[in-house]
Amino acid sequence: MSAWLGIDAGNTGVKALLFDDAGRELACAHRDTGGHSPEPGMVERDIGRLRADLAGLVRELLDKSGLQGRDIAGIGTSGHGNGLYLLDADGGPLAAIQSLDSRTAGLVEDWAATGVGEEAAAICLQRPWPSQTPALLAWMARHRPQVLARAAHVLMCKDLVVHALTGRVATDITDMGGAGLLRLPENRYDDGLLDIYGLGGVASKLPPLHWPTDRVGTVSAQAASRTGLAEGTPVVAGFFDVVASAVGAGVTRPGQASIILGTWSINQVVVDAPLDGVFMSAGIAPGRFLSMENSATSAANLEWLAHHLLAQDSRRAGGSAFALADALAAAAPAKADGPMYHPYLYGAAGDPSARAGFFGLAGWHDGGDMVRAVFEGVAFAHLAHVEKLLAAGARLRGITISGGGARSPVWPQMIADVLRMPVRVAAQAETGALGAAMAAAVGSGRFAGLDDAAAAMVAPSREIVPDPCLAGFYQRRFALWQAVGKSLAPHWAALRDIGQA
């Protein structure tokens, strides 16, 4: 039996899972590896801790599975996109900035005002945003030039994992394309693009580019000693995590779409050529791309609600705050005049000043109505992104939902009702790690490509059909939700300016 190791490194933790050739989960281990904030707007992590956690995590996984390192046929990785990880020539850590960081907000505004953003977008098909890697590199050039001068390698999060396992420096097209550092659709570095960002001197620091399934190294003797893996085990380049999650949900063919109900609202569709005018695009295989509309407007809102408003009640009831939220939302009837919620705790797409809030709350509404409004507001944010993909020319031939929110008994049905189209719910909860493992299986020759790997390793998903009786209800509420959000934009800006006074 072949076992495939998928390592998924996010902003707040790292997961490692083992899968067999049929995609069945053999074992799972997780470590919280959260960051710290040295100054307001900054979110960084300790690379030394991440490396140590990775070694302990893999050892724990092998112990749980009862397998030996020699039983693992290949290793794939995925990691959060953007952010910035800098190593010196000896592999020593210099900087580790996560994709929750907003230190470059002023720089990004300057780029937008001076046309830099549009110039860059003409090449990379993505406009700069605060946690984007080029913006962080430009910030380092302005504020930490000595650190950037010492840097030999500009890496993404999952590249750091590959380096820890193999000692090799490498990256893939999904991460660098998603970071706005590639010319698209060619999937290559571009000196002119770097010059637009003011980063001409960074070209020599960028790692070699690979397809996600390319073998880029093998487990080193040092890593084998730390982790229990077998020296020489193949390691592939891996994926940007949202791409890995799509692949792990079986979304690999043109027209297939992936919605991820996670911290971010991720909405992506496989296309033959990247769409113009959307948030970002990334190549995934020759002649295939994922075009995406994303923002931090999804399940992070439920997490906030659960932790800050429902935690005490759930403790009294002896249950989970998330389960309580599901129960309250499920019990609340759909009301035409029910309150609305704009899920902008961390800003809206294109408007970092946006704030979350309820609209239309009346004395006859209760807590269940408010919780339902949060679920609905997140669903509306996903719909807004999907509509933008459709307007850009996307043709959807099926949508699969994954992420933590997909396990809710409420959200998948509401997403189907709001979109007015059937959706499928991924069978595997950890689609990012599965996608990484699938890349390893392809790179090691077990499967000819991602389509074949998906056919063999992705379990059938559960289909949810929209309720036609709710189509007009949600259409009317969505139109009002959009109008209210548009009218609030100047007031969000005023609230921001009050805070800066």
Give residue 446's pLDDT: 97
Distance, in Å, from the CA atom of 375 to the CA atom of 407, rounded to the nearest integer, reads 13
Give residue 317's pLDDT: 66
Q: For residue 411, tell me if it sits in a domain.
A: no
Query: What's the pLDDT band for 100 if we cut at 50, 70, 90?
Result: confident
Closest-CA residue to 412 (of 246, 333, 299)? 299
Q: What is the dihedral of CA 441, 25, 452, 76, to 10 degrees?
A: -30
Q: Identify the three-state secondary structure at position 87.
A: strand
Q: For residue 225, tell me if it sits in a domain.
A: yes
Half-sphere exposure of 90 (CA within 13 A, CB side): 1
Looking at residues 44-70, what average pLDDT do you find?
A: 94
Looking at residues 440-457, what average pLDDT do you find?
A: 97
The answer on 212 and 115 residing in a single domain is yes
Q: For residue 408, tell me if it sits in a domain.
A: no
Q: For residue 413, tell me if it sits in a domain.
A: no
Query: What's the pLDDT band for 13 if we cut at 50, 70, 90?
Result: confident
Contact between 297 and 348 under an 8 Å Cβ cutoff? The reply is yes
Distance, in Å, from the CA atom of 467 to the CA atom of 255, rounded to the nearest integer, reads 23
Do you find a cis peptide bond into 185, omega within 30 degrees of 0?
Answer: yes
Please state, rounded to an integer, the average pLDDT across all residues of the chain.
Answer: 94
Cα diameter, the chain: 67
Distance, in Å, from the CA atom of 242 to the CA atom of 186, rounded to the nearest integer, reads 21
The answer on 224 and 76 residing in a single domain is yes
The 8-class DSSP code of residue 463 comes to E
Looking at residues 70-76, what average pLDDT do you find?
A: 97
* Domain range enclosing 118: 3-242
* pTM, to two decimals: 0.93
> Looking at the predicted structure, is the pLDDT value of residue 140 above 80?
yes
> Looking at the predicted structure, is the pLDDT value of residue 207 above 70?
yes
pLDDT tens string 160-196 = 999 999 999 999 999 999 999 999 999 999 999 999 9
> Looking at the predicted structure, is the pLDDT value of residue 2 above 80?
yes
CATH code of the domain containing 151: 3.30.420.40
Contact between 210 and 237 under an 8 Å Cβ cutoff? The reply is yes
Looking at residues 439-455, what average pLDDT do you find?
A: 97
CA 157 and chain centroid, separation: 12
Single residue among 226, 242, 258 that ends a domain in this structure = 242
What percent of the chain is predicted at pLDDT more than 90? 84
Burial class (CB in 10 A: 0-12, 13-18, 19+), 500: exposed
Give residue 300's pLDDT: 87
**Which residues sit opposite 44 in a β-bridge?**
36, 97
> Looking at the predicted structure, is the pLDDT value of residue 499 above 90?
no
The answer on 74 and 144 residing in a single domain is yes
Closest-CA residue to 24 (of 456, 360, 449)? 456
Dihedrals phi, psi of 135, to nearest 5 degrees: -65, -40
Taking residue 75's Cβ as centre, other Cβ atoms within 10 Å add up to: 30
What is the number of domains present in the chain? 3
The 8-class DSSP code of residue 289 comes to E
Distance, in Å, from the CA atom of 285 to the CA atom of 256, rounded to the nearest integer, reads 14
The answer on 274 and 204 residing in a single domain is no
User: Worst-scoring range by mean pLDDT, 50-64, 261-275, 340-354, 394-408?
Assistant: 340-354
Give residue 491's pLDDT: 94
> Looking at the predicted structure, is the pLDDT value of residue 426 above 70?
yes
Give residue 79's pLDDT: 96
The answer on 326 and 432 residing in a single domain is no
